[in-house]
Structure 1
């Protein structure tokens, strides 16, 4: 058996590199878990407006905690993105813009996906209550001004897996 001596510097370098790899792996895993813990499911949603359809990628908020958080503290959102709030049953819905720096269009829809009201270009950070003014089971939030730009109006329909799940 050969007697191999390693220099103390080489041993410390090897141990240090091993510790660094372990630490980086730990923080990478912890960071990805923290990030994914707040992520919501994302799905495609279509707004059927007359003969036209408009496609969006939306985050789906279906629990009380997810709906309470909503888009609060979001400073930007792409024009083709949004958030769909899903409730267990139809009812009068009330939203506000507290802690929300974006102007939004808030679109209230019945259980069949039909749009019953649009609150356009809401005021960021406002605590003014925005009611559905009728029964709604779904609420879609888009970048402020999107409804006017795409000519989305009451009576149009929202279509997505959350609204029409496969049986």
Structure 2
């Protein structure tokens, strides 16, 4: 089938719109917004061990950006914020459009506190309630789904006790 100049121009226009739509939806998640590396993290709960793949937020810029502007976070993935040394930590949901569970973790790798189903786009502060060395952000409902509770053990090099 041959296409005339007008048909070819319409096809090119459609392809540009498709490409720009893809860039607007996928690229913010895949390029430049992510932290530098993914690492495995385990949480030992009363019902078993749950594995996660986490992006590390170590630099001030990575910690400031966090999961802002993300439209999707798969189950089993998250972001681990490194606040070494352990300190009182306050988080917020500014520019974060998906609801999250925030899991505050002490220097020994124990879950200190969980803020479940945080309110998207809120500037209300969410406190660690004690000294936290790390904060794990996962999609809302994860803590309840997997039975994650204060006192559970988190295994990750950030909490290495050596």
1:92 matched to 2:91: no
Q: In 1, distance between residues paired with 2:98 and 2:158?
A: 24
2: CA distance between counterparts of 1:141 and 1:95? Answer: 10
Where does structure 1 differ by over 2 angstroms across 4 or more consecutive aligned residues?
A: 35-39, 161-165
Choose 1 or 2 for highest CA Rg. Answer: 1
Match of 1:71 among 67, 74, 86: 67
TM-score using structure 2 length: 0.77
For residues 94 and 160 of structure 2, the distance between their equivalents in structure 1, rounded to whole angstroms, comes to 30
Structure 2 counterpart of 1:122, from 115, 118, 121: 118
Q: Aligned pairs, how many?
A: 134
Q: Which residue of structure 1 lines up, in the alignment, with residue 155 of structure 2?
A: 159
Distance 2:108 2:57 in 1: 18
Equivalent of 1:144 in 129, 140, 143: 140
Distance change >3 Å, CA 132–CA 39, structure 1 → 2? closer
In 1, distance between residues paired with 2:88 and 2:54? Answer: 22
TM-score (ref. length: structure 1) = 0.75
Q: Name 1:46's counterpart in structure 2.
A: 42
Give structure 2 stretches of 5+ with no counterpart. 1-26
Shift of 1:141: 0.3
Shift of 1:149: 0.8
